[in-house]
Amino acid sequence: MKWLVGLVLGALLATIAVTTVGNTVGVGNAPLPTAPPSPAPSASTTSAPAAFSAAEIATHASTTSCWLLISNRVYDVTTYLSRHPGGIRTITPWCGKEASQAFATEAGRGEHSPVAYDLLQAYCIGVLASR
């Protein structure tokens, strides 16, 4: 019986080894593609963030261009609207407006999770311009 268990384990290990090796070699003799190199930092990543006036933010008040002002930071959430778990209609009343309190309290229904705060950072495009 021990020989049968050894045989099955050996076959399993051989299958894993072949599968692993097969996945590290490209199709035929072609090498696997590598990830593109990281781009060099651009001026926008090394300089001060863009600054937008309240008037400019207010012009982005629709589903085709939705900017939110949250804690003096400007977020372009246009591409996120359709993915928002609460639906488009949850965010659109705040497009082009100061939305800090609405975001912090989920428009009075609770509070966003730490994950939501992390996700929001991906949409930051600048800050509110000082007067």
- Cα–Cα distance measured from residue 123 to residue 28, given in angstroms and rounded to the nearest whole number: 42
Task: Output the pLDDT for position 96.
Answer: 97
Both tokens assigned to 65: 């261009």
Residue 19 belongs to a domain: no
Task: Output the pLDDT for position 108.
Answer: 59
Domain count, the chain: 1
Residue 120 belongs to a domain: yes
- Cα–Cα distance measured from residue 60 to residue 63, given in angstroms and rounded to the nearest whole number: 9
Residue 16 belongs to a domain: no
Asked if residue 74 lies in contact with residue 68, where contact means CB atoms within 8 angstroms, the answer is yes
- Cα–Cα distance measured from residue 122 to residue 103, given in angstroms and rounded to the nearest whole number: 15
Residue 109 belongs to a domain: yes
- Distance, first Cα to last Cα, the chain: 83
Asked if residue 63 lies in contact with residue 88, where contact means CB atoms within 8 angstroms, the answer is yes
Q: Each residue of 48-83: pLDDT tens digit?
A: 789 999 999 999 999 999 999 999 999 999 999 999
Both tokens assigned to 34: 């590598």
Range of the structural domain that residue 69 is part of? 49-128
Residues of the chain with pLDDT under 70: 1-46, 106-110
CATH code of the domain containing 75: 3.10.120.10
